[in-house]
Structure 1
Amino acid sequence: MADEQTRRVYERARMGGRLGLGERPAVLVVDFSCGFTDPGCPLGADMGAEIEATRRVLEVARGRGFPVIFTTIAFEENLVDGALWVRKVPSLGELRLGSRWVEIDPRLERREEETVIVKKGASAFFGTNLSAILASLGVDSVVLCGATTSGCVRATAVDLLQHGYPALVPRECVGDRAAPPHEANLFDIQAKYADVVSLEEALERLESAGRTREKL
């Protein structure tokens, strides 16, 4: 957790404004693949609580008919498409196309109509057609879940802002391998890029999204 002096510095800089959620949100689940949610993989950690919290978000989104999109990291067998990232983080080489580690965690019960984007970098936007998918679905905001908070979640939060999509990050729906980077990055995401909220607030806002338009 940030100390009081840090909070005062950020408040003085007038960071942490609210972005809100639009009328047509999507849920974007970043890299909750088995390679990140199974401790048996060198990259993995026990994210059972985060998976369960994300299941609750997905239940509301699916019930309301909002789009759900997943991402996974997967490389060719020769790892050439991993470029410098695999050199920097050699354990990423475990995430080869066709392996169990790149499959979406089955506890999330992904549906056939829910898109899975295969990415080679941290941000869900980098080198993918995510922006085109969001536009084609008429999405105006995003609920962001997944792993890891300090890596791909943060990178995606930055790019959501830069692509013009307000985002909610339910605190209980994102995870990391260790508490200090998790907490530090949640603090920074809230200050600069997205609204970090409780799971209950996210569920309430997702449930109420678009209700005004439905009454017209």
Structure 2
Amino acid sequence: MPDTALIVIDMLNSYDHEDADALVRSVEKALPGIRTLLERARASSSPVVYVNDNFGEWRSHHGEILDAALAGRHRHLVEPVAPDENSLFVVKARHSVFFETPLAYLLGELKAERLVLCGQVTEQCVLYSALDAHIRHFDVVVPKDAVAHIDAPLAEAALLMMSRNMSAEVCTVEDVEFNG
């Protein structure tokens, strides 16, 4: 199996936006799967890379983003998946984890060839990140029980697109293996 990295997308969120209520319900369902992926990746010494929106705060760094998310109204969705001391962190400003970030370079340094994508939002950031990973020749895995959505029908369509158009392995958390 190629070297695998877990990419945690936008889980440090204050949920202070217009679609938050719909998203929160979905995050609550995806949270156990994300926690399981984090545990497995860490146990196998696979890299864990958090890629998170900067929410327009151009002076922010990962500590400030985490603090803002923990101060939000849904701390219970952030604490269980907060980065540990070994986690890597990349700040993004747009939907894709790759768009104008150093992630591709970092993954090259880590010799990662296979990416497990989890987090939010399936029909937005996860979808665009899967496409960008695919065009960069990464093997993409998306456990459908570890991604959260705002719009369920769009999320289902996004998972289908990732599978058919990007050769992503859409599976469940139970099917994901890591190698350190």
- Give TM-score, length-normalised by structure 1: 0.69
Looking at structure 2, the residues matched to 30 and 160 of structure 1 have their Cα atoms a distance apart, in angstroms, of: 13
Q: Which residue of 1 aligns with 2:93?
A: 120
- Say if 1:72 and 1:102, in contact at 8 Å, map to a contact too: no
Q: Is the 8 A contact 1:41 1:101 kept in 2?
A: no
CA distance in 2, matches of 1:132, 1:198: 28
2:154 aligns with: 181
User: Does structure 1 residue 148 correspond to structure 2 residue 121?
Assistant: yes
**Pairing partner for 1:111 from 84, 88, 93:** 84
CA 43–74 in structure 1, closer or farther in 2 if over 3 Å, else same: farther
Q: Greater shift after overlay, 44-53 or 152-161?
A: 44-53
2:139 to 150, 163, 166: 166
Name the amino acid aligned to 1:178: D
Per-residue deviation, 1:23 = 2.8
Q: Deviations over 1:42-92 (max 9, x none)?
A: 342221221211110111110000000011111445x8x9xxxxxxxxxxx
Equivalent position SS for 1:34: coil
What SS class does the counterpart of residue 33 from structure 1 fall into? Answer: coil
Q: Is the 8 A contact 1:73 1:102 kept in 2?
A: no
The amino acid that maps onto 2:169 is: D
Tell me, yes or no, if structure 1 residue 64 matches structure 2 residue 40.
Answer: no
RMSD (Å), alpha carbons: 2.5
Residues 161-187 of structure 1 deviation map (CA, whole Å, 9 limit, x = unaligned)? 111110110010111112111111111
1:1-216 equivalent positions in 2, closer than 5 A? 22-35=1-14, 38=15, 41-44=17-20, 45-46=23-24, 47-76=27-56, 100-101=68-69, 105-193=78-166, 194-202=168-176, 205-206=177-178, 209=179
For residues 3 and 107 of structure 2, what CA distance do their matches in structure 1 show? 10
Larger Rg: 1
Give the structure 2 partner of residue 3 of structure 1.
Answer: none
Cα offset for 1:41? 3.9
CA distance in 1, matches of 2:69, 2:35: 20
In structure 1, C-alpha distance between the alignment counterparts of 2:158 and 2:119, rounded to whole Å:
13
Question: What is the CA–CA distance in structure 1 between the aligned matches of 2:133 and 2:70, rounded to whole Å?
Answer: 23
Q: 1:76, 1:97 within 8 Å by CA — same for their partners in 2? A: no
Q: Distance in 2 between matches of 1:175 and 1:63?
A: 24
Task: Name the amino acid aligned to 1:201.
Answer: D
CA contact (8 A) 2:12 2:66 kept: no
Shift of 1:105: 2.0
Greater RCO, 1 or 2 (C-alpha within 8 Å, sep 6+): 2
**Identity fraction in percent:** 26
Deviation, 1:113, is 2.2
Contact persistence 2:141–2:171 (CA under 8 A): yes
TM-score, normalised relative to structure 2: 0.82
